[in-house]
Chains A and B, each alone.
Chain A
Amino acid sequence: MSIIIDETTALLVQGITGREGTFHTRQAVEYGTRVVAGVTPGKGGELVDGIPVYDTVMEAVRQKQPNASVIFVPPSFAADAIMEAADAGIPWVVCISEGIPTLDMVRVVPFLKSKGCRLIGPNCPGIISPGKAKIGIMPGRIHRAGPVGVISRSGTLTYEVVFQLTERGIGQSTCIGIGGDPIIGTHFVDCLQLFEADSETEAVVLIGEIGGSAEEEAAFFVRDHMKKPVIGFVAGTTAPPGRRMGHAGAIISGGKGTAAEKIASWERAGITVCKSPAEIGATVEKAMANRRLQA
């Protein structure tokens, strides 16, 4: 098994006729993802590599019944594209677009809730279930199917971690980049919950970074609900303090947000924290070997 996407996923690409949209559609198809339709307003009736393009998401849903959508539209139109997908009844939307205004996302979140739609991102590399389907911009070939779930706030750092795992022969069940923006659709906790319930996943790698309080929330979930081993890394231990948002920033975070605090909360929750980003693959290998010994 894997989480969220697999070989049965039928994908819609919003912004399929754009440069990025076309390029990554090809990459996804090459990887084996079933891309059933694309949407670009005003380009309905065209074909991209034989994939039919529609003017609206609703029309694409009527004709091709996609059950996931990926968004490659410019940031000023991305919030609207997410809501269009939700309105058409698509259950999972992955938004790659970077640079969406925060207040646009504030309006998107309650809209999605009212439609029962789940969002990954924005400003994220996407999601991949190796050997099954790939929705996003990550390089497919560095992945390998296997038992480790990967959840990350970052893009290329996720590739680095996956690369270290694959190099050691450790495959992945699903890798999710949840995105680095202040407001995102799917959080660490949502993914942890899915991985804990997934029969194929044996361990989870959590890649956090400084800022916000997502890591601290993940720590509580791991402590109270996770039986599978969790291995973590927090980027930004050496980032200089500052760039602070005046008094209000410090107040809302309640003093949270530094790497040291995040690492401490993870260690308290029983997460194995890697000090060096070069050690993540080896640490996962060790954790899995220990687990096998105990079993």
Chain B
Amino acid sequence: MKIHEYQAKKILSDFGVPIPQGGVAESPKEAGEICAQLGKPVVVKAQIHAGGRGKGGGVKIASSPEEAERITSSMLGMQLVTPQTPPQGVKVRKVLVEEGVKIQKELYLGVVIDRTAAMPVMMASESGGMEIEEVAATAPEKILKIHVEPGLGLLSFQARKIAFGLGLPPALIPVGTRLLDSLFRAFTDKDCSLAEINPLVMVEDGRLLALDAKMNFDDNALFRHPEIRELRDVAEEDPLEVEATRYQINYIKLDGNIGCMVNGAGLAMATMDIIKLCGGDPANFLDVGGGASAEQVENAFRILLSDPNVKAVLINIFGGILRCDVLAQGVIEAASKLEVKVPVVVRLEGTNVEKGRSLLRSSGLNFTVASGMRDAAEKSVELARTHNLTY
């Protein structure tokens, strides 16, 4: 799960990470008030989940409350396009208004899980801000990496190693090591998958501040963090994807016209791959789950058909222990209930597969029964093409 910058900063600040003064505004008036209260120039930052906001015009400086109001009124409601958003951009609903600071140096700090080492790794670099991507690509050895045993926490010598490695002046070493410890505790206490401060800035007045922050959370651990679940902003997510998660269906919308329904993520990806190999384009990734009950099939059907681009549907279910006749019955019921208008190619495999196929054939509905993945992909590509022409 992702959250906004202002939410991440609030969490980090609760753990003792110093952040700039400021507040969130949902109207120009509020933004002006925050600026007036701070009594100095401010930075107005659009709050969307995607990064790269500066490049898209989502970060602007205001030297007066009036200017802060003006900038905010142009920012709120705009479709902000950044290298990390979809092409049409994301609508801005909130801005963060913060004190402007005179930056001496931009640093990078991040914590993620290193899969191979099976433990968290803290990363730091003297080149923060937007330069970090280039450092990562061209000189990854310049990024300091320290693996941390979560049971022990970030040890003092590890924190010092990073603080000195970042080239912090002696006066900032104690502040820096405390900040590192706070960041790591926030990562583990809140079950993050990512906690990042980029940039961490050294300010002319001697402060060390988290100028931007990003936190992602492990969805599997949300059950023990009700306070994090509350921070979810569904307006930032695709509405179909939000609905899918409600039924524990893993759905990602894509740009093609063949709607896919598959059980299991690996098989779902393989199905998309073979559609592409056969000259078609998948409209989505959809994993109905390993079991794939009749009810799940109906929910999945409804979700993938709400995409108006879908011209044909490919259902690829490897039943495993589930009986194919039961599954076929579920598919038939769902399709007739939802009055499916597009051609549906079904590939079933598992126990009682013959019985399942004959049920589909005799249902009177627009099913094409396929045998094997290649056959299923070819048939759905062909049907999507011809169906496209007739409508």
Contact = CB atoms under 8 A, between A and B. Distances in A.
Contacts of A209: 265-266, 269
B29 to A, nearest CB: 32
B318 A156 contact: yes
B216 A246 contact: yes
Contact of B194 (A152, A207, A245): A245
A239 interface: yes
A157 B143 CA distance: 37
B74 interface: no
A102 B373 contact: no
Contacts of A212: 115
Contacts of B84: 242, 244
B223 to A, nearest CB: 6
Interface in B149-163: 149-151
Interface string B105-125: 000101111111011110100
Nearest to A236: B269
Nearest to B264: A156
B150 A107 contact: yes
Interface in A85-100: 99-100
Interface string A243-257: 111111111101100
B266 A103 contact: no
Contacts of B151: 107
A283 interface: no
Nearest to B281: A238
Interface in A128-174: 137-139, 141, 152-160, 163
B118 A276 contact: no
B220 A101 contact: yes
B285 A247 contact: no
B196 interface: yes
A293 B177 CA distance: 64
Given A102-B218, A103-B191, A139-B351, A252 B114 contact: yes
B266 A235 contact: yes
A193 interface: no
Nearest to B51: A246
Nearest to A154: B266
A159 B133 contact: no
B321 interface: yes
Given A101-B221, A235-B269, A277-B270, A251 B150 contact: no
A144 to B, nearest CB: 15
Contacts of B39: none
Interface stretch (B17-25, B164-172, B271-279): B271-279
Interface of B: prevailing SS: mixed
Nearest to B349: A163
Given A101-B191, A137-B290, A156-B320, A238 B265 contact: no
A206 to B, nearest CB: 13
A137 B291 CA distance: 10
B356 interface: no
B33 to A, nearest CB: 31
Given A106-B113, A252-B112, A156 B150 contact: no
Contacts of B262: 156
Nearest to A237: B273
A240 interface: yes
- Residue from B140, B218, B252 with most neighbouring chain A CB atoms (10 Å): B218
Given A103-B221, A245-B194, A245-B216, A238 B320 contact: no
A212 B137 CA distance: 17
A75 B219 CA distance: 12
Contacts of A105: 118
A260 to B, nearest CB: 12
Contacts of B191: 101-103
Nearest to A254: B140
Contacts of A10: none
Given A103-B218, A276-B274, A247 B133 contact: yes
A47 interface: no
Nearest to B189: A103
Contacts of A194: none
11 contacts: A102-B193, A102-B218, A155-B266, A159-B320, A160-B267, A209-B269, A238-B275, A245-B112, A276-B374, A277-B270, A278-B274
Interface of A: 27, 75-76, 99-107, 109-110, 137-139, 141, 152-160, 163, 180, 182-183, 207, 209-210, 212-214, 217, 233, 235-240, 242-252, 254-255, 275-278
Given A155-B290, A235-B273, A252-B121, 10 more contacts: A102-B218, A106-B113, A107-B150, A157-B266, A163-B318, A207-B266, A238-B269, A251-B143, A276-B374, A277-B373
Shortest 4 CB-CB contacts between residues of A and residues of B: A154-B266, A156-B264, A157-B266, A101-B221
